A and B are shown apart, each in its own frame.
Chain A
Amino acid sequence: GDSVTQMEGPVTLSEEAFLTINCTYTATGYPSLFWYVQYPGEGLQLLLKATKADDKGSNKGFEATYRKETTSFHLEKGSVQVSDSAVYFCALVTGTYKYIFGTGTRLKVLA
């Protein structure tokens, strides 16, 4: 079945450091890919998305590129802030309404 694999956390960085959170997927068909962010005590919020190969999603300084050849959708940010501390989820959906989530990666940014 379809699946999403994320790097284990937690990831701890200093402010202004470069962030990469790895995400790879397996899917039949052509999924759409998403990154969601969850702040403490809140629901998941869409961070960015990409719907086809080579698409780049971007939002709030975060970017991810849909790489079909490596089945990856890694999340990057050039300079993280303390306010970016949260749990990040990679997800995919195919035509079945079945959204599959990775296990989440906790990011902690230190001032």
Chain B
Amino acid sequence: DTAVSQTPKYLVTQMGNDKSIKCEQNLGHDTMYWYKQDSKKFLKIMFSYNNKELIINETVPNRFSPKSPDKAHLNLHINSLELGDSAVYFCASSDRGTNSPLHFGNGTRLTVT
């Protein structure tokens, strides 16, 4: 059973298009996240939701809009894609408490041409 699954695994699209990435977790966790990993492997938090409520919203262009229909799902919609959006996007989840580790999905490699 895949604990945190995200789709698609690869996404190739042209500048200006709109695309979505879906994420689901079956761990029963309350909190979900989106991270962006650049070509140098640097990981940056983008958003976090706790029980469908936005709790972290880093400095991210407003072309990026997260949506959490329920606590098991957190989707990421990106409008007007730009070349600089090319990266690997990771979904993650965590249980309550600061001792809880993050559980990551396998990532979505987005390539904007």
Contacts and interface: CB of A to CB of B under 8 A. Distances in A.
Interface string A23-62: 0000000011010101001111110010100000000000
Interface of B is mostly: strand
Interface residues of A, number: 27
Interface residues of B, number: 24
A94 interface: yes
Contacts of B42: 101, 103-104
Contacts of A98: 45, 48, 56
Interface of A: 31-32, 34, 36, 38, 41-46, 49, 51, 87, 89, 91, 93-99, 101, 103-104, 106
Which 10 residue pairs of A and B lie closest in terms of their CB atoms, listed nearest first? A43-B104, A104-B41, A101-B43, A46-B101, A44-B104, A43-B106, A51-B99, A32-B99, A95-B98, A43-B105
